[in-house]
Chain A
Amino acid sequence: MTSGRVVIGLGSPDRGDDAVGLEVARRVADLHLPGVTVVEHEDPTGLIDLWDTADLAVVVDAVRSGSAPGSLLVVEAGADAGPLADQAWARTGRGGTHAFGLAAAVELGRALHRLPRRLVLVGVEATQFEHGTELGASVAAAIDAVVATVVGLVAAAAPQVEAVSHVPG
């Protein structure tokens, strides 16, 4: 579906910190970065179609690794990187199905040879996922840093200026 550089915000709205990926995607889309496609997405099984033709894909998601709330976890996971460590990303709070999450999507993509050359997972340490709640204060306070990290990743990989698109939903 996408080529060049793609930023994918993964998560569920109205589920507390689980919306952080979506919020970051919106903020990055507002920057209208040339040549960068921004996608908000909920279902991990659909990720492969979003990233497999990209040169660089950055996926932003809530993560629970035991770090301080709002802290960032950046993991290289593309075709040029090795397999994700066991349990990496296993305790993300996002919805979809517990039986198939982001880590499974990455490794399934690897098995099917459908990973972008470079895939970067940007995790934001999350704490609460209550129904009908907004981002917690710690995660909300980290948004600027997450956006800067994502912009830094796509800018460093910028080849040519092309079109700008934002695909919600």
Chain B
Amino acid sequence: MSHKLTDGGQVLHVGTLARVEGEGAMHIEIKDGRVEQVQLRIFEPPRFYEAFLRGRAWTEPPDITARICGICPVAYQFSSCLAIEDACGVSVPDAIRTMRRLLYCGEWIESHALHIYLLHAPDFLGYPGAIEMAKDFGPVVERGLRLKKVGNELMTLVGGRSVHPINVRLGGFYRMPTVAELRGLRPALERGLEDALETVRLVSTFDFPDMEQPWTYLSLRPEQGYPIESGNVVTTDGTAFDVRDFTAHIKEFHVPHSNALHATLDGGGPYVVGPLARYTLNHDRLSPLAKEAAREGGLDVTCRNPFKSIIVRAVELVEIFVEAIRIIDAWQDGVAPSVPVPARAGEGFGATEAPRGVLFHRYRLDADGTILDAQIVPPTSQNQPSIEADLRTLVEQWIELSDHDLSHRCEHAIRNYDPCISCATHFLDLTVERS
């Protein structure tokens, strides 16, 4: 919906933005052909998780914070585990770290398959949503559902539930899956790998607007492998720092138009977390098959076009399936499911790569393990300034488009980030004002 302002300008309302997680709005003001203001207005109510974690036991955050999001609960569980284990001076054995990586693969499969096929592909194929797209692209949508189902099965086997896993505890798991159980999933994972490769072939044929993001990219980088469940922080500016120094570099601040805190990196402009950042900073860590898929998908070793994030997510799907199969093939029974994490006074820091980017947790404990202070920095909060900056660039580039087409492009640009507003508040109604 659009209407004229009394000064001759124009206001465009596009209703609730669909195909994102959570509720919010977008407000754009255009004056004399220039973009005056772009605001991602996140009005999903603040959820005060950090406040009500205070006074809880050190063992509780993996279960409590998992409830922040139905799409990336594993990210919350493992970032909180890492932070509290850090505070308690515990480092889990490699086998437990490996099983965490496998469970995280399930979450990435679920999240990326959902976003690529049901939320983002309709933008490229010209449909208002997956339902309309399914009428013409039934086998494509079926492939997406099949991929997501494999993710659900992996989450259920390792995590105990396909949503909000219940098998995760501080120090590890309540129960380890057996070799027999894991190998039972292998055929589905092999089929998933084929579907992931087909996904890269499909999405790389889409039309992509020309755009190169100048923003700094930030991701984790582990000692080996592609960043998922661990790593130190690296950026495309050449900065590298330990996760425990995260808050020295990343500063959160409140803006009046959003219930989610924004963030800056070393006082600079927008920075980006998520698939593009991970890929650009860790292409060398991809498996040969994923590298080959990326090359066939038309990607260079870096990618700065946010619209091509759908290709990067598809390449990451390939990587995740390769990784999950690798882990299952190497798994041996007899691993203790957890190690003790006795409470002690201290402060701990943890970060993992949620499907949407780096998720940071910090906890301060007293001697009996009571949580004195908690801080959670989710990826969508960090990406808010870059989403707004992208929109400013795109609106100026496409200012001659009709309000309808401009609004569609803006919504598409927002979905490039697969934003999770439920996490960020821990939103969307689009308004464009022209004058």
- Chain A residues within CB distance 8 Å of chain B: 12, 42-43, 45-46, 48-49, 95-100, 104, 107-108, 110-113, 131, 169
Contact = CB atoms under 8 A, between A and B. Distances in A.
B404 to A, nearest CB: 20
Most buried by A among B18, B131, B132: B131
Q: Is the interface of B mostly helix, strand, loop or mixed?
A: helix
Given A104-B131, A107-B131, A98 B163 contact: no
B22 A98 contact: yes
A118 to B, nearest CB: 20
A169 B156 contact: yes
Given A99-B119, A112-B138, A46 B70 contact: no
A108 B137 CA distance: 11
A45 B21 contact: no
B71 A97 contact: yes
Given A97-B21, A97-B114, A111-B134, A46 B71 contact: no
B164 interface: yes
A42 B161 contact: yes
Nearest to A114: B142
B352 to A, nearest CB: 20
A43 B134 contact: no
Interface residues of B, number: 33
Most buried by A among B114, B141, B145, B149: B145
A97 B107 CA distance: 13
A89 to B, nearest CB: 13
B134 A95 contact: no
A102 to B, nearest CB: 13
Contact of B163 (A96, A104, A107): A96
B131 A99 contact: no
A98 B71 CA distance: 10
A46 B161 CA distance: 13
Contacts of B313: none
12 contacts: A45-B148, A49-B145, A95-B164, A96-B163, A98-B23, A99-B119, A100-B119, A104-B131, A111-B132, A112-B138, A131-B64, A169-B160
